[in-house]
Amino acid sequence: MSGKVLILGGGFGGWVAANEIRNGLPEDYQVTVVDRNDSSCLGLSLLWLMTGDRDPDRISRSFSSLGRKGISFVRGDIDGIDPRRREVVVGGKTFSCDYLVVALGAELAPETIPGLQEAGHNFYTLSGADALRHALADFSGGRLVVMTTGPGYKCPAAPYEAAMLLEDFCRNHNLRDKTRIDLYAAEPGPMGVAGPAVSRAVRQMIESKGIAYHPEHQAVEADPTGRRLRFSNGVEADYDLLCYVPPHRAPGAVRESPLIAESGWVEVDRDTLATKFERVYALGDVVSIPLKLGKPLPKAGTFASSEARVVARNVVRDITGRGEAAAFDGRGECYVETGDGLTAYGEGKFYEDPVPNVVLHPPAPKWHDSKIRYEKEWLEGGIRSDEDFRRTG
C-alpha cells in the first residue's frame, strides 16, 4: 500500500493532522507537511510575550522534529493550489498527492486600513507582540488603546484578555493612575457567538477593571503622526500606545484557488471537513462553518485541532479500511485570562440548536495553571485532545 498525503500548513491544525495521519498509516505511505516557516508559534503565548512574561524564542515549536516521526517537511511558499488535480505549487515545483489537507490558517492584513501598520502594534504576530513588549517597557502612562478591526478574528477572547493583561501590567508598574485604557471593538460585544450571558460576563470583567469599552467601532483610518484613530461612525480617538488585532482574510494561495467560496473562506462539510473536491479537506482558521444563529464557528486552535483529528481518522480509514468514521461535534474550549494570575475557562457545544451552549467558569488559579500546562505540552509537540488534556491535566 503506497501513496501520498500532503498537508498544507504545519500550524495548530496541520501539525495534529500530520501526526495522527502518520500514526495511522503504513510506512510506505508518504505524509508531507508544507509550510513557509520552519516553526510555528503558540498564539496564547503571544499575550505573555507582550507583557514581558515570555521570550520570543521560547514560544515556538520547530518543524524539524517532524522528520523523526517519519513526516517529510517541505519549506516554501505555496503559490498555487489545484484541488481538482490535487496539485500544489511550492516555489515553482509541483507536488501531487492522493489526499490533500488544507490547513493554511488566516492571513493578517493590517495594510487594508490606511495608516494602521505604522500607527501601532499588531500583537497577533511574534514580531508585533515582541515590539509591543519593548514599547511597554518604555511606556510612562497616557492613553492606551486596544482595538479590533473587524468582527471576525481568531480567538475571540484574545483582545479582551490583552486589555486585562495590559491593565494588570500598568498596575504592577505603577502606571495605572497615569493611564486610561480604552477598548474599541468592531463587534457589538465580546465573544458574541458564545451567547449573551458569556458576552455580558466578559464585558463586566473588563469594565470592572476600569477599561472603557466601545463596541461597534469599525476603524477606517489611523494617523500615526497625530496618533489619532477614525471610525466609520464618525468618532475619532487619540492614543499614546495602540495595540491592535488586524483584519483577517484567507491566505492568498487559497483566495486565488477554486477552494475559495463566497464567504471569503473555504466551505466544508461541517461534520467531515471535506471540501467539494474529492479527497480534499480543509480545516482550522481557513474554513468558515456557518452556525444556525447566523455567525460562523469562531476561529480558534481548539477547533483546528479537533477538526484535524476528525480528518485524520477519516483519511486513515479511507486508505486502510480500519477504524470508525469520525464526525466533528462542534465542541471547543477557551481560556479567558483576566490578570492577577487568574483565568476563566469556557466550554462550548457550538453545533447545538438553536444556539451554542457555552458555559464560562469564573476566573480561578486552577484554570491559569491549566493554561500554563497546555502551553508546555503544546511546545513539546503534544497532540492530546483538549478533553484528554483536561481529564488528566
Ligand X SMILES: Cc1cc2nc3c(=O)[nH]c(=O)nc-3n(C[C@H](O)[C@H](O)[C@H](O)COP(=O)(O)OP(=O)(O)OC[C@H]3O[C@@H](n4cnc5c(N)ncnc54)[C@H](O)[C@@H]3O)c2cc1C
Residues that bind ligand X (CB under 6 A): 9-14, 35-37, 40, 43-44, 46-47, 77-78, 103-105, 124, 154-155, 158, 251, 253, 284-286, 299-302, 304, 334-335
Residue 227 or residue 297: which is nearer to ligand X going by CB? 297
Virtual torsion, Cα 22, 25, 29, 32, nearest 10 deg: -20
Residue type, 102: V
Q: Residue 339: which H helix or E strand, with range?
A: strand 331-339
For the bound state, the minimum distance from the C-beta of residue 347 to ligand X, rounded and expressed in Å, comes to 12
What's the CA gap between 183 and 219, in Å, rounded?
A: 12
For the bound state, the minimum distance from the C-beta of residue 307 to ligand X, rounded and expressed in Å, comes to 8
CA distances from 201 to 255, 269, 342 (A): 37, 32, 15
Residue 112 or residue 232: which is nearer to ligand X going by CB? 112
Residue type, 287: V
Strand partners, 336: 344
For cell 489545484, what's the residue?
82
Residue 227 or residue 300: which is nearer to ligand X going by CB? 300
What's the CA gap between 231 and 233, in Å, rounded?
A: 5
For the bound state, the minimum distance from the C-beta of residue 374 to ligand X, rounded and expressed in Å, comes to 8
Residue 43 or residue 195: which is nearer to ligand X going by CB? 43
For the bound state, the minimum distance from the C-beta of residue 25 to ligand X, rounded and expressed in Å, comes to 20
Q: Which residue is nearest to ligand X (CB)?
A: 11
b/e map 165-187, b = 16+ CB within 10 Å: bbbbbbbeeebbeebbbbbbbbb
**How many CB atoms within 10 Å of residue 257?**
20
What's the CA gap between 193 and 294, in Å, rounded?
A: 9
Nearest CA-CA partner of 104 in 70, 64, 69, 76: 76
Residue 227 or residue 378: which is nearer to ligand X going by CB? 378
For the bound state, the minimum distance from the C-beta of residue 170 to ligand X, rounded and expressed in Å, comes to 19
For the bound state, the minimum distance from the C-beta of residue 237 to ligand X, rounded and expressed in Å, comes to 22
Virtual torsion, Cα 199, 200, 205, 209, nearest 10 deg: 120
For the bound state, the minimum distance from the C-beta of residue 235 to ligand X, rounded and expressed in Å, comes to 26
CA distances from 196 to 91, 203, 356 (A): 47, 10, 11
Residue 57 or residue 236: which is nearer to ligand X going by CB? 57
Residue 89 or residue 355: which is nearer to ligand X going by CB? 89
- Cβ-based neighbours of 378, under 8 Å, separated by 6 or more: 42, 61
- Cβ-based neighbours of 272, under 8 Å, separated by 6 or more: 281, 310, 311, 314, 326, 327, 328
For the bound state, the minimum distance from the C-beta of residue 358 to ligand X, rounded and expressed in Å, comes to 14
For the bound state, the minimum distance from the C-beta of residue 75 to ligand X, rounded and expressed in Å, comes to 8
Nearest CA-CA partner of 184 in 135, 236, 140: 236
331, 349 in Cβ contact below 8 A?
A: yes
Residue 91 or residue 224: which is nearer to ligand X going by CB? 91
Residue 41 or residue 219: which is nearer to ligand X going by CB? 41
**How many CB atoms within 10 Å of residue 27?**
9
For the bound state, the minimum distance from the C-beta of residue 246 to ligand X, rounded and expressed in Å, comes to 10
Residue 122 or residue 227: which is nearer to ligand X going by CB? 122
